[in-house]
Amino acid sequence: MAAPPTASSSKDEQRIPHLSRLEQDEEPGPDVSVLKEIGRKALIDSLNSVNGAKTLVLDNSIAGPLGLVTDVSLLKYHGVDKMFWLESGPLTSTTTNVVYLCRPLIRNIKIPLRADQIKRHAKESQKHIYTLILIPRVSTLVNRILEEEGVLGEINISSYNLQFIPLAEDVVSLENDNAFKEIWVDGDETSIYDSAQALVTLQKLFGPFPRVLGKGNFALRLSQLLDKESALLPTSNDPSIAFDKFDSLIILDRRIDMITPLLTQLTYEGLVDELVGIKNSYVELPQSVLAPQTGPGAQPTAGLSTSTAPGSAAGLINRDKKKKHNLSASADPLFEELRDLNFSAVGKKLNKVAHRLDEDYKRRHQAETVAQLKDFVGKLGGLQNEHQSLGLHTRLSEMLVPLTRTTEFNRSLEIQQNLLASYDVANQITSIEDMIAQGADMQVIVRLLCLASITSGGIKTKILERIKRDFLQTYGYNLIPLLLSLAAPPLCILQPNPLHSPTPYEFAASKYPFASLRKSLRLLIDDIDNVDDLENDISYVYSGYAPISIRLVQCVAQKGGVLSNPALNRANIPTEGERADGAADTRNESVKVQAHPVVGWKGFEDVLASIPGETVDFVPKGLVPANMVNPGSIVRSTYPERVLFWWADPGILASSREQTKTTTIFFLGGCTYTEIAAIRWVAKQNRGRRFLIATTGIISGRSVVERIAGVSPGSGRDASI
């Protein structure tokens, strides 16, 4: 596998295609920006339901999501006088109306009921009208709590149905940071129901999903809920609905691939999330990084500095005053080009942009006529914006470089790569023990231990017990619940080998067949001397490792990409006359291959059977076309997992190749920025299919461990409006 990312190891920029923008010959996909407008309007309606000026008490966990659909000025325009965080302590309100906006969690509901808020106001004869707006819906549990406290009649209860929020033109998210922990640790399946409702809304806006596929026990749960709700949608015979807008929905239960989030992300956006932290599309950066260079004549930095002293960036992050910055392609076109690149290629890309800007600035000296001067002045604003964006990403990259050169980072990366290759596992576990003795970051240790357990079929019992003892002595016995949660079903990602006898079925069934998947799904690209093999395969995002979750997507949407690199398979490369743009093929271009119709998991049934969890493949009840063969029939497979499959007319599935279809991928439990980048690589290689990525939230290995441990997220993680 590839070496750790450095500024000097970049590949030839000419070989890295631009992945994010849609090709000109393709019709536009679903306009997800309408979801933002729906969220904004629903919030306005909720606020306007309370007449007059109001004091808004806001749940801190929803401040970031709200900041993606509205701003403070809009809230003030609709009557919000003052805003406070929902937290313990006296609440002083100068308005009659007090509005609490929060998620329906017990801890949130009990805060205003304490003696220093609503009850205190009653004792002091303060007359307020209280309104409780719950996101995304009213909970029966909330009503019961209010009734037990004797204040149910004194509080008006309503809901604000905030669902999918667009993070990019191809990414929508529920922005629920706790979804993974709630489902796999707490046993709370509320997020599954919320996901089903959000997916139904998506269908109402853009048309139904003709076919639903999935993998995982909770993916089956979600698909069953979705199937019931789909019965209420208009049928495919309704002329008002474009039945072929979507071609399928793929639901991926996060548990079926826990390896990917445990790995260190190596794309530019993923690495920023790993080392600095991105929350709700915002990142907290030192002001010295955000401060733009002034003056059009200032020369942009020509790439990453290699002379920065190790640790200086970390010191900068900790000492300098921070400011929030919106890290999104809509506000920063250069970021759209950088976000999905392997970090090793970022320096070369920045160099190229810097040289191009330098040439553009020099053209002002070549202007000889008034028309030429006017043309340059018209472009000057865009050049200055590009210049500022280049400066920002150059400084941010320079801040990241020393962090990627620390001993801990590189040692962790080396252990990960060796574990993925099953190379000298015993020595890797010894290295993890050494890192514990040296006091390495707690979340890094947990991620490595879980990775070793999953890839090796468990850690030897005596060794695991010794590691747990050393871990607790080093990081604190308050982390005992963390270790128990990682070992308990349904998560089961930190297991002994062999399992204790007698072994409950849940433990035995969770055994992950990584060794066989590594071969059948072509997870590791060993020969990385061939640059094209690496840069045109999804393994590029992890420097030689292909995420299992995205390989499963390819099993449905790009079957040839699982077995070989479609960009290099000359048998699949269209001729010049077949190319959408009519251009001739060149060696280093990423060639688009016509997307094949979605025919389910066909060809990979054995692979799916080996992965723990249910396998799903069906046509929703309410969407069965009139010419469907045997609608409603269920076929059970010969392997243990249950398969839901509705036999359909092949002509329906093999729909017109000329139309561009959208395949929606839903990650139940969250997805990483690097998985998003990998899906964009798949989209780049296909003609006639685009992807809409939906998720309960954006996660990383750090966020997963910290949420389960109940540890406060690191700096740069909290976002507000």
3-state SS of 601-657? CCCCHHHHHHCCCCEEEECCHHHCCCCCCCCCCCCCCCCCCCEECCCCCHHHHCCCC
| pLDDT of 628 above 50 | no
pLDDT band at 498 (very low <50, low <70, confident <90, very high): confident
| pLDDT of 334 above 90 | yes
Residue with more model confidence, 586 or 499: 499
pLDDT at residue 509, rounded to an integer = 67
Helix, strand, coil distribution of the chain in percent, nearest 5: 45, 15, 40
| pLDDT of 516 above 90 | yes
Minimum mean pLDDT among 228-232, 635-639, 673-677: which range? 635-639
Minimum mean pLDDT among 149-158, 176-185, 188-197, 319-328: which range? 319-328
Is the Cβ–Cβ distance between 445 and 411 less than 8 Å? Answer: no
| pLDDT of 567 above 60 | no
| pLDDT of 436 above 50 | yes
pLDDT band at 575 (very low <50, low <70, confident <90, very high): very low
Percent of the chain with pLDDT over 70: 74
Three-state SS sequence of 467-483: HHHHHHHHHCHHHHHHH
pLDDT at residue 580, rounded to an integer = 39
Dist. CA 267–CA 263, nearest whole Å: 12
* Residue of 488, 492, 414 whose CA lies nearest to 457: 492
**Reported pTM:** 0.85
User: What's the fold here for domain 34-162?
Assistant: Rossmann fold (3.40.50)
pLDDT band at 305 (very low <50, low <70, confident <90, very high): very low
Instruction: Read off the pLDDT of each residue in 130-158 and give the average, rounded to a whole number.
Output: 89
| pLDDT of 669 above 50 | yes
- Pair of tokens at residue 286: 């030192």
- Dump pLDDT digits (tens) for 231-245: 776 654 555 444 558
pLDDT band at 64 (very low <50, low <70, confident <90, very high): very high
End-to-end CA distance of the chain: 41
Which residue intervals of the chain bear CATH 3.40.50.2060?
A: 34-162
pLDDT at residue 125, rounded to an integer = 79
| pLDDT of 318 above 70 | no
Instruction: Read off the pLDDT of each residue in 228-233 and give the average, rounded to a whole number.
Output: 76
CA Rg value for the chain: 27
Instruction: Read off the pLDDT of each residue in 361-376 and give the average, rounded to a whole number.
Output: 60
| pLDDT of 576 above 50 | no
Dist. CA 150–CA 164, nearest whole Å: 35
pLDDT at residue 631, rounded to an integer = 40
Alpha-helical (H) ranges within 117-156 are 118-123, 140-148
pLDDT band at 375 (very low <50, low <70, confident <90, very high): low
Dist. CA 96–CA 88, nearest whole Å: 20
pLDDT at residue 302, rounded to an integer = 40
pLDDT at residue 244, rounded to an integer = 59
Average pLDDT, the chain: 81
Which residue intervals of the chain bear CATH 1.25.40.850?
A: 422-512
pLDDT at residue 654, rounded to an integer = 45
pLDDT at residue 703, rounded to an integer = 95
pLDDT band at 150 (very low <50, low <70, confident <90, very high): confident
Instruction: Read off the pLDDT of each residue in 259-264 and give the average, rounded to a whole number.
Output: 97
pLDDT at residue 373, rounded to an integer = 57
pLDDT at residue 537, rounded to an integer = 81
* Residue of 116, 113, 216, 214 whose CA lies nearest to 509: 216
Dihedral of CA 192/195/196/197: which sign? positive
Q: Is 1.25.40.850 the CATH number for 422-512?
A: yes
Residue 65 CA: distances (Å) to CA of 132, 391, 428, 715: 18, 28, 40, 18
Residue with more model confidence, 232 or 32: 32
Residue with more model confidence, 567 or 77: 77
Percent of the chain with pLDDT over 90: 56
Q: Please report how many Cα atoms fall inside a 13 Å half-sphere around the Cα of residue 105, on the Cβ side.
A: 18
Instruction: Read off the pLDDT of each residue in 439-443 and give the average, rounded to a whole number.
Output: 96
List phi, psi (to 5°) of 271. -70, -35
